[in-house]
Amino acid sequence: MYVHGKDKYWPDKMNINQIRGDFPILRDGRIYFDNAATTLTPRQVLDAMNEYYEEFNANVHRGLHKFSIIASERYEESRKNVANFINADSDEIAFFSNTSKAINFIALSLDWKKGDKIVTTEIEHHSNLLPWLRLKRKFGINVEIVKADENGCLNIEDFENAIDKKTRLVALTHISNVTGTVSQVRDVGKISGDNNALCLVDGAQSVPHIKINIKELNCDFMAFSAHKMLGPTGIGAAYIKKDISEELDPACVGGGTVDYVSLDDYTLLEPPQRFEAGTPPIAEAIGFSRAVRYLGDIGMEKIEKYEKELTKYAINLLEDIDGLDIYGTCKPGVRRIGIIPFNIRGINADDLASILDSHGIAVRSGHHCAIPLMEVLGIKETVRASFYLYNTKEEIEQMISVFGKI
């Protein structure tokens, strides 16, 4: 099993040229600032996935021949590596196709009763809001929304007021995909536990960008996706706390999940296999494993520090542009990652994104799957620039130069 921690790339500081050389898609000089949606993939991840297809392409846990044995070993090794990346036990990690599927699976697998209460927030990605609103619509579950301030920031006092003994689950994002601000999930998790409520964290933006120790977050569930952290699309993971997993009646069952089946009943395997019905994304799991190894070799603390430098540099330049508004700026001391939402007055966000694309710069425009948060910010859409470990200050300067031309 791979154990991360050795700094292969950054013994002292960022070796940007070596890292950028691992990403074939950057060879044409285009600038990629859409990392909050999907990150780029290094050749090491591609090679690991190709090795599966070229050397031991077979299903897992279903055969005694050589290929199946190797594939099964590599698949379970991938689970261990992903678990180790967030300091979880391997039997607490289940693979799903993405964060959205993981959250929906958990929502549909818990035993809900009318009168149960769910607490969530205004800043959530739709993937961590719609599943709870559907439970409200279908089963009469009470959903209480914690409001955000005008900058999209949450106050811990509002959670203290919202979470009570009737609360069954608290669901919140760790880092906003719109503003990049980091929520106080550890404190919210403690409040949840004190009220015997479960806590689910959307880690889609946090696991790729900051060091996670799941045992310190006071949560019962965390969902995240490989494609936002240098891995392939089509696979994500859910941390399901060991002493909670037995409470789940899997929303999806079938091949690969059962210990015994009769025509009258069935018994399921132990977690996490009971949560992974059907043939899993084997090559993608192996690629996911290689991606966390890549990030671990560099060091998550160094990645966060580098992104912080890029973000500060970009904001300082953007603030000097007349007519450009940046959203989600919280009070000093609020932790954030490299996500900056902005608009230029008089220019539609989609038009501005298209202009940047014509200059070889990829950004995101729209509501970013967070319409309620857009309403809090008083806008309908923004342009969003989001950074990762292969971006540079020079690329930020090139984006700023386009605004100068506008």
- What are the residue numbers of the active site? 369
What is d(CA 248, CA 231) in angstroms, rounded to the nearest whole number? Answer: 28
Q: At what angle do helices 130-139 and 99-109 cross, to 10 degrees?
A: 30
Tokens for 361, please give them. 């710069």
User: With helix as H, strand as E and coil as C, how does 211-225 read?
Assistant: CCCHHHCCCCEEEEE
Pairing status of strand 258-261 against strand 266-268: antiparallel
Beta bridge partners of 326: 342
Upper half-sphere CA count for residue 196 (Cβ side, 13 Å): 3
Rounded alpha-carbon distances, angstroms, from residue 152 to 144, 181, 334, 396: 17, 9, 12, 25
274: tokens are 């009971």
- Asked if 106 and 240 count as a contact pair (C-beta separation under 8 A), the reply is yes
Q: 308 in helix, strand or coil?
A: helix
How far is it, in rounded angstroms, from Cα 120 to Cα 322? 36
Paired sense of beta strands 339-344 and 324-326, if any = antiparallel
